[in-house]
Structure formats: C-alpha cells, structure tokens
Amino acid sequence: MQLLSKLLIVALMASAMFAKTYEIKFSHVVSPNTPKGKAADFFAKRAEELTNGQVKVKVFPNSQLYTDAAVMKAMKFNNVQMAAPSFSKFTSLVRELQLFDLPFLFRDVDHLHNVMDGEVGQILKDKVTAKGYVALDYWDNGFKHFSTNGEQLIKPSDAEGQKFRIMSSRVLEEQFKAVGAIPQVLPFSEVYSALQQGVVDGGENPLSNFYTKKFYEVQTSLTLSEHGYLGYLVVASDRFWNKLPDDIRKKVRQAMTEATEYERKLAAELESDFLKKVKEYSEKSGKLKIYKLSADEKKVWNKAMSEIYPKFYDSIGKDLIEKAINTK
C-alpha cells in the first residue's frame, strides 16, 4: 500500500514536470497601478495558480511591447496573445465599437454596464470575433474629463480653436469639431510630451490615466465633465486561444472572469482616490485649476456634442445606438 502511494506521488510529480506549458504575453499601454494594470497582474497570478503553473502570463505595461495601434496586428500573428485596448482603438477593425465613444451616451455606470453586459455588448463582441479575435470581457476605466493649458473649459465655446489629443476614433474627432476645437490623434505613449511641448493644448482622460501618467504636471486646468466613457475590451489571439487544450482554456477563462470582477470593483473604488490625489496636487502646487461642471452646464455640452449622433447612423448603426440608449 505504501509502495503504491509512493509510486502515485512519483507519477504525479513526473507528470507535473513534463506537463506542457503555455506562455501568454499580455500587452497594455497604461501604468501597472491603474485598474487595468492591476487586473492584468491579477489575471496573470490566477491563470498560473489555476493551471498549476502550466500557463505563464507575462504582463507588459506602459506600451513596453506594443502601442495600441500595433497590438491588434501583433495578435493576429500570435506575437502577443492578449491585450485590453480601449474601445476607440478598435475603430479600423470594428467601427461599431465607436458606440462607446459617443458623448453623453451613458446615464451612469449601471446603464453602461447594462449596455456592455447585455445585447449590445454581445453584438459588438460577435463583430470582433468575426474579425478573427477572441473577445473576452469588458473592463472599466471611467468617465472622461477635459484638461487643457488653454482657456479653462466651462462652456463649449471655451474649446474653440484649442487642440485636443484624441484616440483614433472618428466619433472623438467629430465630438471636438462640434465645439470648434481641433482634434489630433496621438498614441497614448506620446500624450505627456505632446502636452508638455504644446503640440496639443489638452486632452480627455479618465482620472486614473490623468493621475498615473502625471498629465496634471503639464496641464493648467481640469474640468470634471464626465462627457464620455473610456473602457476596454479584453481580446486574445484566436491562433493561441483555439490551440489551448480544453481544460487549460477553461481555467484561463475562469481566471479572466475573476479578473473582470476584480477590475470593475477596483475601477469604482480607485476613482475617488485618484480625484483626491489630483485635488491634493492642485492645492499644493497651485498650478492646476479644477472646475466641476454643474448639471446645467453639462446639459449645454451635451446638446452641443450630441448633435454628432446622426453622422454615425451608417457606420455604428442607428439601431445599435437606439438599443444602447433604450437599455434600462
């Protein structure tokens, strides 16, 4: 009996030693201390734990490996296996994902989650899948706010003639044009220096990116506007994903489900923390003015920017936009 259990232990050890391992490179462009960065690290740990080390995930933050523009192509060739680009970065692949960029579309976080996790979110994931990627989960960042070195933004006409960095999205381009501003597409990795050198006057960011990338150091005003949303779709290379053995894939999926739950909770928790830190900087340095738009002021921005919706009835789909608006 003793011999039998010894043999069993030896056999188990041998199978663990010779078990095939799978490497996932997870590329993203933000700091490790953002909700996305922390969730990517969490996923790495859980995927390794759940597969007893058969899956090793290496996370590359801060555009170390790829910019968002390059990562989708790299994934096609299986040079990188996973990424979580913001919705705007899918524009050339699935233009309908620009839905999430529409200004003032989401009433609040609950509405946003009901859109992401409901019929609309599934339709969009299916479109990404049809392009040869595995669309996994939606991750949060937060509502965006304007910042600038030009005139502080309180009413839409304040934006006139100012240059704003945008992600590669036609919706964002039209959103700024609607208020007489000049949009300029730049990769995230170039935003700090573009603001510092005056290539652009301002930008739009959720607080986590604004704080962790220290954009506050190179901006003179921040307007808490919540005029749009920035979130992510986690995607995997289908060449990699579909070759995983079923049991391993199931465990990696489980790790992702847990990471998603963790990420969304964290994004909500960290929001007030980032705001506190930006306010502390503002008070201490006296170099950053912060202004919070009132509900009435937001209505004025909403009216000016939402006029662009009909321009996207063809590319995003009137039906899809209406479905999102009518989601409870």
Cα 326 to Cα 328: distance, rounded to the nearest angstrom:
6
Q: Closest separation between CB of residue 11 and ligand SIN, Å?
A: 46
- Residue 171 interacts with ligand SIN (CB under 6 A)? no
What is the distance between the alpha carbons of residues 253 and 241, in angstroms, rounded to a whole number?
10
**N- to C-terminal Cα distance for the chain?**
63
How many residues make contact with ligand SIN (CB under 6 A)?
7
Counting Cα atoms < 13 Å in the Cβ hemisphere of 211 gives 22
168 scored as a contact of ligand SIN (CB under 6 A): no
Q: How far is the CB of 314 from ligand SIN (least distance, A)?
A: 25
Phi-psi region of 161 (alpha: psi -120 to 50; beta: other; left: phi over 0): left
- Using CA atoms, how far apart are residues 6 and 19, in angstroms rounded to an integer? 20
Q: 294: which DSSP letter?
A: P
The residue from 51, 91, 141, 175 that contacts ligand SIN (CB under 6 A) is 141
Among 86, 169, 225, 327, the residue binding ligand SIN under the rule CB under 6 A is 86
**Residue 188 makes contact with ligand SIN by CB under 6 A:** yes
HSE of 165, CA atoms in CB hemisphere, 13 A? 28
Bridge partners of 145, per DSSP, are: 205
Among 209, 221, 237, 260, binds ligand SIN (CB under 6 A): 209
Which is it for strands 82-83 and 22-27: parallel, antiparallel or unpaired? Answer: parallel
Nearest to 167 by CA among 134, 130, 200, 127: 200
Return the residue nearest ligand SIN (CB atom): 188
Among 167, 256, 290, 321, binds ligand SIN (CB under 6 A): 167
CB of 179 to ligand SIN, least distance (A): 19
Least Å distance, CB 157 to ligand SIN, is 25
User: Binding to ligand SIN by residue 30, rule CB under 6 A?
Assistant: yes
For residues 22 and 26, which CB has a smaller minimum distance to ligand SIN in the complex?
26
Residues contributing to the site for ligand SIN (CB under 6 A): 29-30, 86, 141, 167, 188, 209
